[in-house]
Amino acid sequence: MTDLTDKVILITGAGSGLGRATAVAAAAQGAVLALVDISEDGLAATQAAVLESSPTSTSIVVTADVSDESQVETFVAATVGAFGRIDGFFNNAGIEGKQNPTEAYGSEEFARVLSINLNGVFFGLKHVLAVMKQQGSGHVVNTASVGGIRGIGNQSGYAAAKHGVVGLTRNSAVEYGEFGITVNAVAPGAIWTPMVENSMKQLDAENPEKAAEQFIQINPTKRYGKAEEVAAVVAFLLSDAASYVNAQVVAIDGGQSQKY
């Protein structure tokens, strides 16, 4: 099993989905946690889930909007203030946005999605990498998407942002590898999270269950992935076991992105 004993792991988007699952997985492997989300209720639920599975775990929570650089600075400083360092950073917060073809995709919506999914990732990298460079070690995992490695349709903002996350990942990995830091990304596909559930409602508001069933039929596994399956990969990439894995974008999609 991956060992994160006493490692300080900072997670954004920790209030639900992949962030919550990774928090639970990391705590089970001995990590201490700094949990960040815009939702206070989501953070409380995640902290409760962590304590339920790992009663002796230690965590702090910070309510913050990752698209606001000053708030990013605050939660990075809070993490260092509480624990003295940042060993791993799951740069995960993101939204899907509204689905529309490019000609009908709202300009304000495009800017909103990029502000969270791309600017937010950049701000996180900027301030966490400075800490890791000073301490001479660290592992970063950004959340990209299969929508960051291929076209998906009807999601101009999401696709642009996630392709940008892939670029930021590779660029930062090249810049910081010499300082004992790795920067990788995961590219989840059809993982059953609140975001994907909402996506199915956008596809068919009257019968989202039918849309969900049809959507998964093109996947080689014929099923949705679980948040815990992504969390296991993230935990590995945040650990010293992955110390020579750098600048990689790991698709976690049941093989769908490789299907003709």
Phi, psi of 138 (to 5 degrees): 155, 155
Residue 178 DSSP symbol: G
**CA–CA separation, 177 vs 191, rounded Å?**
30
Q: Residue 154 in 3-state DSSP?
A: coil
Catalytic residue among 105, 158, 176, 224: 158
Whether 105 sits among the annotated catalytic residues: the reply is: no
Cβ-based neighbours of 189, under 8 Å, separated by 6 or more: 145, 146, 219, 225, 251, 252, 253, 254, 256, 257
Report whether 176 contacts 129 (CB < 8 A): yes
Residue 73 CB coordination number (10 Å) = 14
**CA–CA separation, 229 vs 15, rounded Å?**
17
Torsion of CA 11, 12, 15, 16, to 10 degrees: -90
What is the strand order of the sheet 138-143 is part of? 59-63, 32-37, 8-12, 88-91, 138-143, 181-188, 249-252
Report whether 89 contacts 10 (CB < 8 A): yes
Indicate which residues carry an active-site annotation: 158
